[in-house]
Chain A
């Protein structure tokens, strides 16, 4: 079974500063993928960044980077130079791979609320 844990309470960050959103996971799958999504108040889940379990380097996408520490089973999202539009819920998710292939299922954490202050 897969599990994603996001335990931070609501996070606040000053505009233009960096913020780290925590995510820990648990899985017994031989390989897996980790995803971060952003959900603004409008409801749409927006894909931000992906990290594969065998990737040697941390993933980066513009202002988003993923601090992947495999031994600690953590995949924290770092947002640099925060903008007011970054205020949203952020979800960490995992997709596993069994011996016969990838699972279709994405397991999501409960999410973290980020508020960016002007």
Chain B
């Protein structure tokens, strides 16, 4: 496997279900990200992890719970979601050098298309 992988690719769940999205990066990067892409909206950053530590939570509702056990894996645990949470969830990774350099490119996975009934 190369690049950034995400599973599952498609997920349909009811509002009372609990499910998890998985992301794995094979690029040796130290930062990982969750984004939400809704129809006709710009990508919204949800969470950022650097060296397994969460460095940004972009006012995301608590029904979304991220987990980063190591620099290669990132999960998004979902519970009691709402229909408006239906979207494409994209994971990305980058080598964040943390200095005054903004060229660190984020590489994205194929996304999980989530439908909440």
Q: Which one of B45, B88, B102, B110 contacts A33 once the chains associate, using CB atoms below 8 Å?
A: B102
Contact A101 B100 (CB under 8 A): yes
CB pair B56 A33 closer than 8 Å: no
User: A38-55: contact bitstring with B at CB < 8 Å (1 yes, 0 no)?
Assistant: 000011111100101100
Q: How far is the CA of A31 from the CA of B100 in the complex (A)?
A: 8
Of A47, A105, A111, which one neighbours B107 at CB under 8 angstroms?
A47
A-chain residues with CB within 8 Å of residue B108 when the two chains form the complex:
37, 44-47
Asked if B99 is an interface residue, CB under 8 A from chain A, the answer is yes
Complex-state Cα separation, A103 to B96, whole angstroms: 9
* B61 is an interface residue with CB less than 8 A from chain A: no
Q: Mark B65-102, 1 if CB is under 8 A from A, else 0.
A: 00000000000000000000000101010001111111
Q: Residue among B43, B45, B55, B90 with the most chain A CB within 10 A?
A: B43
Given A43-B113, A104-B96, A105-B56, residue A52 in contact with residue B43 (CB < 8 A): no
Are A47 and B98 in touch, CB under 8 angstroms?
no
Q: Are B102 and A32 in contact (CB under 8 A)?
A: yes
Cβ-closest chain A residue relative to B97: A102
Contact of B110 among A44, A53, A101 (CB under 8 A): A44
Q: Are A108 and B42 in contact (CB under 8 A)?
A: yes
Residues from chain B with Cβ under 8 Å of A109 in the complex: 42
Q: What is the CB-to-nearest-CB distance from B1 to chain A, in angstroms, rounded to a whole number? A: 14
Residue contact A106 to B45, C-beta cutoff 8 Å:
yes
The reply to whether the CB of B105 lies closer than 8 angstroms to some CB of chain A is yes
Q: Check A101–B42 contact: CB distance below 8 A.
A: no
Q: Are A97 and B101 in contact (CB under 8 A)?
A: yes
Given A4-B42, A43-B111, A106-B45, 17 other A-B residues pairs in contact with their CB atoms under 8 A: A35-B106, A37-B108, A43-B90, A43-B113, A44-B108, A45-B43, A45-B92, A46-B108, A47-B106, A52-B102, A95-B102, A104-B33, A105-B45, A106-B43, A107-B42, A108-B42, A108-B43
Chain A interface (Cβ < 8 Å from any Cβ of B): 4, 31-33, 35, 37, 42-47, 50, 52-53, 91, 95-97, 101-111
